[in-house]
Structure 1
Amino acid sequence: MDSLEIIVSIRKIVRSLNLESKGIQKDFGLSIAQLLCMGHLQKAHNFQSTLKELMELLSLNSSTISGIINRLEKRGYVARLPKAGDKRVTFVVLTAAGLKLLQETPNVLHDRLADKLDTLSNENKLMVKRSLEIITSAMQIKQLDAGAVLSPEEPIN
């Protein structure tokens, strides 16, 4: 297999994600990261998660996840709740409005891909994971934040 074929396949993946992201933004006013965050909360116990869990799950830095939560909170889709007895921990909770919006959004490419990956054997999932690790390592982007958009303060290395 020629390396160009691999690069073209990666470009197709990136392009399809970008096209879907633009469609979700246009139709619902949400970024894919916001939608993934809300989707995680929908599946989480008591519709809640900590900021740290969301950061790790979505591979985002603290300022990016804070911005996502701020925007979702302003629109009434999530709420922040301090942990009883420990004000250092804040839970992010999906609201009824957020749940209603999720029921109106389409099954996005990320979800469809996750469903397909879930049907793979553990051996094949491991193979896909290792292949992607090879690619991210070759591209020297293993430590890159998975945010969709660079902020003006964020340097490009």
Structure 2
Amino acid sequence: MDSLEIIVSIRKIVRSLNLESKGIQKEFGLSITQLLCLGHLQKSPNYQSNHKELMNLLSLNSSTVTGIINRLEKRGYVVRLPKQGDKRVTSITLTASGIKLLEETPNVLHDRLAKKLDNLTDDNRLMIKNALEIITSAMQIHKLDASPLLTPEEPID
């Protein structure tokens, strides 16, 4: 396989994710990252997580995660609950409306891909992980966050 074939394969993956994301956005008014955030909360103990955990999970910077949480909170899908004894610490908690929304949303492409990857052998998953690490390192993007949108401040290299 030459480099052009690799690039075409990557473009197919990116395009399929973008198409799925646009469809979800149009139908439900949510981004894939917002759905991933809600899905994480649904699987978390007591439907709760914290800001740092969401940053690490989604590979996004703090301000992007804050924006996601703000939009989800505004729509009533999550609430911020202060920790007892330390009001500086908050938990992001999924609401009943958020749970209902998750029941109505389709199995997004990320989930379908995750299930297919989970069905692979450990060796194959490790091989894919290593290959992707080689690509991100070669492209010098291994420290780039996984934000779904470009902002005007971000240079395109």
Partner of 2:140: 140
Q: In 2, Cα distance between the equivalents of 1:27 and 1:146?
A: 23
1:48-89 CA-to-partner distances (Å, cap 9, x unmatched) read 100100000000000000000000000000000111122232
Is the partner of 1:76 in helix, strand or coil? coil
Matched, 1:131 2:134: no
Name the aligned partner's letter for residue 102 of structure 1. L
Q: In 1, Cα distance between the equivalents of 2:40 and 2:113?
A: 15
Is the partner of 1:91 in helix, strand or coil? strand
Given the two structures, how large is their TM-score scaled by the length of structure 2?
A: 0.96
Structure 1 residue runs of 5 or longer lacking an equivalent are none
Q: Percent identity?
A: 78
C-alpha displacement of 1:115? 0.6
Q: In 2, Cα distance between the equivalents of 1:50 and 1:11?
A: 33
Q: In 1, Cα distance between the equivalents of 2:102 and 2:73?
A: 15
Partner of 2:62: 62
Partner of 1:107: 107
Given the two structures, how large is their TM-score scaled by the length of structure 1?
A: 0.96
1:86-139 CA-to-partner distances (Å, cap 9, x unmatched) read 223211000000110110000000000111111122221111110100011111
Q: In 1, Cα distance between the equivalents of 2:117 and 2:106?
A: 19
Q: CA RMSD in A?
A: 1.0
Q: In 2, Cα distance between the equivalents of 1:145 and 1:113?
A: 20
| Residue-pair matches, total | 157
Partner of 1:35: 35
Q: In 1, Cα distance between the equivalents of 2:6 and 2:156?
A: 24
C-alpha displacement of 1:155? 4.0
Q: In 2, Cα distance between the equivalents of 1:88 and 1:59?
A: 23
